Amino acid sequence: MTAISYDDIVKAPKALLHDHLDGGLRPATIVELADAVGHELPETDPARLGEWFVAAADSGSLERYLETFAHTVAVMQTQEGLHRVAKECALDLAADGVVYAEIRYAPEQHLESGLTLDQVVDAVHAGFQDGTAEAAAQGRRIRVGTLLTAMRHAARSQEIAELAVRYRDQGVVGFDIAGAEAGFPPTRHLDAFEYLQRENFHFTIHAGEAFGLPSIWQAIQWCGADRLGHGVRIVDDITAGNLGRLASYVRDKRIPLELCPSSNVQTGAAASIAEHPIGLLKDLRFRVTVNTDNRLMSGTSMSKEMALLCEAFGWGWGELQWLTINAMKSAFIPYDERLAIINDEIKPAYAKLLA
Ligand SMILES: O=c1[nH]cnc2c1ncn2[C@H]1C[C@H](O)[C@@H](CO)O1
Ligand SMILES: [Zn+2]
C-alpha cells in the first residue's frame, strides 16, 4: 500500500464529534482579543503563544491541561469575541476538509462581562452561520451543530440542559458535561440527564479519560449517555482480547467512543499515539471515532490526528473511511441527514481514494 499523504487526508471528507470551541482558537486571534479586553497573556507573539499552549497542556494531568483554558475563556466574554471565534472555527475546520462538526462549549463560562446565557448562544450561532456561509462561498461545504456543555464541578447542569433544549431548533444538537473528572462523577448531574431523556434529547458525557470504569459505567447505566467523550479507559475492562461485562455492553450497543489520541497523550491517559488503545478498540470493532478535542492545546487538526494514526498503525483509506462513517452514524442530527452526508459526500469521495 502506498503511504497516504497529509495533503490527500486534508482533501478527504471528515466528520468531527468532539471539539471544544474554547480549545480551538487561532493564536493570533487570542493576541488581538486579549489586547482589546486587557487580558495578560504568557506570550504575545502568535507563534510563540501557540507553542506555549501545546507545551503547557502537555502536562501529564487533565487538571493542569485544563488550566490553559483560562487564556481562551478570558477572550470569549463579549458577543464580538464569541462570534469571531465561532466563525474562524467553522472556516478552519472547512479548510481542513471537515464536512460535519459538532462543536461544544460551556455557556456558563462566558458570563463574566455581563452577557446572558441566551446572548452567548446567539453570538456563537451567528458566528457559525457566518463562518459556514463564507466557507461555502469558497467552495467548502461544512455543517456545524453545537453541544452545550455544563461544567461538572459546578451546579448549573439543569439550567444548561434546559437552555440546550430551548435552542434545539436553532443549532444546538446535544448536551455534554466536561471539566476535571476525578471527584466529579456524572451522577452529580443525574437530574439534568433524566430531564434530557424525557425531552428525547441527545447527550454525551466526558467519561473514562482521567478516571476509569466507574465513570463510564455511571455515564451509561445511570445517566443514559448516547456517546462517551473519550471513553478510552474502557480498555481496563478488556483482558487479552476478552471483554468484561461493561466493555461488552458498550460494544454490543454500539455506543460511540469519541477518542482523542493527541489529547490523551498530553493528559497522560495514553503513553504515546502508537500505544493508544484506539488500535485495540478498532481491531475489536468498537464504534470508534477519532477527534481533535482541543486543536489549540494539542497543536492538531482532524487531518493531523488521522495522519498520526496512519503512521502509528499502518492504517489507510479503508480505516479512515470506517472512522468517518462511524462518526457520521453517531452524530446527533436526524438519521436522514446523517445518511445523506454518508451517501452523497463520504462514500463517493472514499470510493475514489480507495480505487
Ligand atoms: O478533554 C477534556 N476533558 C474534560 N474537560 C475538557 C476537556 N477538554 C476541554 N475541557 C473543558 C475545558 C473547557 O473550558 C470546557 C468547555 O469547552 O471543557
Ligand atoms: Zn473534551
Does the beta carbon of 57 lie inside 6 Å of ligand 1? no
pLDDT-derived band at 3, boundaries 50, 70, 90: confident
Pairing of strands 288-290, 257-259: parallel
Q: What is the mean pLDDT of residues 270-286?
A: 98
pLDDT reading at 242 higher than 90: yes
Tens-digit pLDDT profile for residues 153-208? 999 999 999 999 999 999 999 999 999 988 999 999 999 999 999 999 999 999 99
Predicted TM-score (pTM) of this structure: 0.98
Residue 1: per-residue pLDDT:
53
Known binder of ligand: residue 22? yes
pLDDT reading at 98 higher than 70: yes
Q: Do residues 24 and 127 lie in contact, with contact meaning Cβ atoms separated by under 8 Å?
A: no
**Helical axes 157-166 vs 117-137, angle rounded to 10°:** 50
Q: Which three cell numbers stand for residue 87?
A: 466563525
Catalytic annotation, residues: 209
Q: How far apart are CA 78 and CA 100, in angstroms?
A: 26
ipTM value, please give it: 0.99
Angle at 108 between CA 104 and CA 113, to 5 degrees: 120
Does the beta carbon of 65 lie inside 6 Å of ligand 1? no
Ligand nearest to the CA of 107: 1
Q: Which helix (H) or strand (E) holds 125?
A: helix 117-137
Highest CATH level, class, for 6-354:
alpha beta
Q: What's the burial of 168, exposed, middle or buried (CB within 10 Å: 0-12/13-18/19+)?
A: middle
Does the beta carbon of 150 lie inside 6 Å of ligand 1? no
Known binder of ligand: residue 299? no
User: Which one, of 347, 340, 352, 231, lies nearest residue 291 by Cα?
Assistant: 231
347 CA to centre of ligand 1 in angstroms: 32
Fill in the DSSP letter of residue 39.
Answer: -
